[in-house]
Amino acid sequence: MKLFPENDYSIELNNNSSLAISELENQTLSKEQFVTNWNNQAFIGKIETNEFEVKLSKKLVGEVCVLKGKLESEKGTLKVRTSRIFKIIFVAIVLFALSGIVTAIIQNKLEMIFHLVMTILVMRFIFLEFGFRIISKSGINKLTEIIGIKELKKTLHNNV
């Protein structure tokens, strides 16, 4: 099991990739733009000729996962991963909890260790895993609607 959730998909498009990329460009704000109302577009990100890296434009929700894809003719790949900012926040919380565990051991307050370990587990499995699943599904649904994904197949990781 990985520390941070991510999913890989192979996709099949209804149309060709150039039409899908142009539709995605119409619904995506550039990363470099500073906009006060992000909700006018579906995504924020970077789009190139046949590749894209976008996140949902919802302020807090959109930061959870990043959708990165590559399209060629009517097929492509899509990788959904946890964003860097949520990885940093999670690591900071884990380090804070670990320092609390060390402090509890030094002060001989062993009942605090259970609470701190439970904090780490709840953050990982409840907030990070379930939050990622819900928000990535929302992002994939929005992407499917915009670029016209006909078929979405989850690919397996080869961890060797």
Q: What is the pLDDT of residue 58?
A: 80
**Which residue numbers in the chain have pLDDT < 70?**
1, 33-40, 157-160
Q: What is the pLDDT of residue 160?
A: 41
Q: What is the pLDDT of residue 102?
A: 93
Number of domains in the chain: 1
Q: What is the pLDDT of residue 100?
A: 92
**Which domain does 135 fall in, by range?**
6-155
Q: What is the pLDDT of residue 35?
A: 58
Q: How far is CA 97 from CA 47, 112, 117, 124, in A?
A: 38, 10, 7, 13
Asked whether residue 29 is domain-assigned, the answer is yes
> Which contacts qualify for 146-151: CB closer than 8 Å, 24 or more apart?
146/23, 146/24, 146/27, 146/42, 147/13, 147/20, 147/21, 147/23, 147/24, 147/71, 148/13, 148/14, 148/15, 148/20, 148/23, 149/11, 149/12, 149/13, 149/14, 150/12, 150/13, 150/14, 151/11, 151/12
Q: What is the pLDDT of residue 9?
A: 93
Q: What is the pLDDT of residue 36?
A: 53
Q: Which pLDDT tens digit goes with each residue over 38-66?
A: 556 788 889 988 899 999 888 777 788 99
